[in-house]
């Protein structure tokens, strides 16, 4: 989020000149964000790859951050960046890494889900029998 309350730096000037266009674009993006497939983590990793290909440093940081917030690890973010190598070469991927790291590090990591893992104390205790 930018300091003036917009999600992207280009939003304020577009909204000032074309408010209806800006509102329509936001509605369209909301529909894309609500697609049921792929899952949200994969969605953000795909968008990250697209921003690497476009060499959009702010987009790279944003989607690395969003990917972390929905559960992506640094290895998954870095691996997604590196998947651009065969088609787009070394330079875009190499340039993207610090921006991806900046976004990843700025994100709030998701809370661990207790139902996904069992701690050492949970084995066999659920039924109350010893």
- Asked if 41 and 102 sit in the same domain, the reply is yes
Which CATH number belongs to the domain containing residue 71 in this structure? 1.20.1290.10
- Asked if 41 and 5 sit in the same domain, the reply is no
* 119 within a domain of the structure (yes/no): no
pLDDT-derived band at 122 (thresholds 50, 70, 90) equals: very low
Q: pLDDT digit string (tens) for 22-70?
A: 888 888 878 877 877 789 899 999 999 999 999 999 999 999 999 999 9
Specify the DSSP class assigned to residue 123. Answer: T
- Asked if 66 and 12 sit in the same domain, the reply is no
pLDDT greater than 50 at residue 124: no
* 90 within a domain of the structure (yes/no): yes
Nearest to 79 by CA among 106, 48, 110, 112: 48
* 105 within a domain of the structure (yes/no): yes
Measured CA to CA, the distance from residue 70 to residue 72 in angstroms comes to 6
Total number of domains constituting the chain: 2
Q: Give the structural domain span for 5.
A: 1-34
Copy the structure tokens of residue 13. Answer: 């000037």
- Asked if 86 and 68 sit in the same domain, the reply is yes
Distance (Å) of CA 84 to CA 48, 91, 96, 114, 118: 10, 10, 10, 34, 36
Q: pLDDT digit string (tens) for 92-116?
A: 999 999 999 999 999 998 887 755 5
- DSSP line for 9-52: TTHHHHHHH-HHHHHHHHHHHHHHHT--SS-HHHHHHHHHHHHH
Nearest to 49 by CA among 116, 100, 120: 100
Whole-number pLDDT of residue 56: 95
């Amino acid at each position: 989020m930018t300091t003036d309350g917009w999600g992207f730096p280009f939003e304020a000037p577009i909204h000032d000149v074309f408010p209806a266009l800006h509102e329509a674009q936001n509605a369209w993006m909301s529909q894309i964000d609500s697609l049921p497939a792929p899952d949200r983590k994969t969605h953000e990793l795909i968008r990250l790859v697209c921003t690497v290909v476009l060499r959009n440093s702010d987009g790279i940081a944003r989607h690395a951050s969003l990917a972390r917030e929905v559960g992506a690890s640094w290895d998954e973010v870095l691996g997604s960046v590196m998947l651009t190598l065969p088609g787009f070469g070394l330079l875009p991927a190499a340039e993207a890494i610090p921006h991806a790291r900046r976004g990843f590090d700025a994100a709030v990591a998701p809370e661990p889900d207790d139902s996904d893992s069992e701690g050492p104390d949970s084995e066999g205790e659920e039924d109350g029998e010893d």
